[in-house]
Amino acid sequence: MRLSWRVLLNLSLLALCQAASVEEIQLKNIDILTDSFHKGWKEFCDAPVDEGVMSLYNGINPSDTSIHLLTINNQSVELPIRALSEIRDFDINPQRKTLLYVNGFYTADSYFSVQAHLHMMQARRRDLNVIVVNFAKDIQQLYYALRHHLTLHGYFIAKILSVLVENGVDPEDITLAGHSVGANAAALGASLYTAEYWHSHRKISLIDQLIAIDPASHICDTSDLFVRNNVTSRVVVIHGEGNIFGVREPLGTIDIYPNGVGFYPKRKLQPGCESWTCSHMYPFLLFMEALVEGVSIPSVRCENWMQFKDGLCNYQDIVAIGITYPAAAKGLYFCVTQPHPPFTLHENGFEYRSRNSIFRQ
């Protein structure tokens, strides 16, 4: 039976109302995620969002992960993760060191723009093969990565490592790096790569190093943080915040604690920061300053923060934040940095200063 025009009109209006309702729910979802995000990973994982509505929108599937590379003519190219085998067709030179960076943190703040910093790093560090994997282009994608897809992201990283090695890149020339959730995905990827290589070749193949920048302290539905000191030949952890986002305990071969934050409980926030999110981002900015600007941010080996304050450190044992570390370096390292760029105080950063004296600079 043919429906009357009045019935069709009412059905159309109902459909429009329902569409608007879905949009309103999605806007509320984003508001809830944004609010819970600043309270830490536990609250973010437990955010009371409508995942049914979120699933109607693009960008949240594992296949929406992107790979960013440079051509030989210095042009930036974005590939979908399903094209990971095509990275061999871009400017990947086995004679250069390779940096595979995994972005697993989102911020809308322009000063803290993760994507802008990573683009600068790619453009300026042409002495490296720089590959960026991004699964946190917005807050919804980060939520689904942490809540549902982290194991898959680790699998993607393992496959990219396999493609690089199969095309002549020496595992000893590869540095994996990642911030926050990205550090956990990178660590998982390194473990999966090693297991897969052993299964196929009956030989051990370890990636040279992992730079874990304030790895996320909480992953939904699991207590395994993935960052461990044996997932690569060397694991460097650059701590930033140890209360709701980052991990306080040492996890690596080398653990660097700028300003003692993340190690000493009474030191809550990084210089110039007024939020946990800012402190969690702070070591990422130090890493970018070191790589993009070529600035040395040295730290000194000490048994603990109190010995650093008292000047009782081994001043012959120095490491600088970046991707090059002495083979013998091992243990806890501390330094003092500034609240604004340039963050480094160079060797003056070996001298303890009170929190207020840092802020006054």
Give the strand pairing for 66-70 and 76-80. Answer: antiparallel
Cis amide bond preceding 250, omega within 30? no
CB 79 within 8 A of CB 90: no
C-alpha 40/C-alpha 63 separation (Å) is: 26
- The answer to whether residue 181 sits within a structural domain is yes
Is residue 324 one of the residues assigned to a domain? yes
* Contact of 39 with 275, CB cutoff 8 Å: no
Helix (H, G, I), strand (E, B) or coil at 312: coil
**In this structure, is residue 179 part of a structural domain?**
yes
Alpha helices in 48-104 (DSSP H): 51-54
Instruction: Extract the residue ranges of the chain whose pLDDT is less than 50.
Output: 1, 8-9, 11, 13, 16, 355-361
Residue 14 burial (10 A CB sphere; 0-12, 13-18, 19+): exposed
In a domain, 126, yes or no: yes
Torsion of CA 282, 286, 292, 293, to 10 degrees: 120
CB 182 within 8 A of CB 212: no
**Has residue 147 been placed in a domain?**
yes
pLDDT number for residue 361 = 35
Helix/strand/coil for 73: coil
Asked, for residue 226, whether it belongs to a domain, the answer is yes
CATH number for the domain harbouring residue 312: 3.40.50.1820
Looking up tokens 């992953």 gives: 219
Question: Cα–Cα distance between 9 and 53 in angstroms, integer?
Answer: 25
pTM of the model: 0.89
Asked whether the beta carbons of 221 and 234 are under 8 A apart, the reply is no
Question: Per-residue pLDDT tens for 46-57?
Answer: 999 999 999 999
**How many Cβ atoms from other residues are within 10 Å of residue 54's Cβ?**
18
Our CA angle for 80, 198, 228, nearest 5°, is 75
Backbone phi, then psi, for 80, in 5-degree steps?
A: -70, 155
∠150-133-243 over CA atoms, to 5°?
A: 55
Q: CA-CA distance, 156 to 133, in Å (whole number)? A: 9
Q: What are the respective helix, strand and coil percentages of the chain, to the nearest 5?
A: 40, 20, 40
Tokens of 202: 């009956």
Domain interval for residue 261: 65-350
Please tell me the distance from the alpha carbon of residue 79 to that of residue 145, in angstroms, as a whole number.
18
Sequence-distant (6+) residues with CB within 8 A of 162 are 193, 196, 197
Q: How many structural domains are present in the chain?
A: 1
What DSSP state is assigned to residue 197? H
Sheet arrangement for strand 298-301: 76-80, 66-70, 128-134, 97-104, 174-180, 209-213, 234-238, 254-258, 331-335, 298-301, 314-320
Cα–Cα separations (whole angstroms), residue 125 to 82, 165, 177, 343: 26, 21, 15, 20
Residue 1 lies in a domain: no
Instruction: Output the six-digit token pair for 223.
Output: 């207590």
Whether residue 308 contacts residue 352, with contact meaning beta carbons closer than 8 Å, is answered with yes
Q: Is residue 197 part of a domain?
A: yes
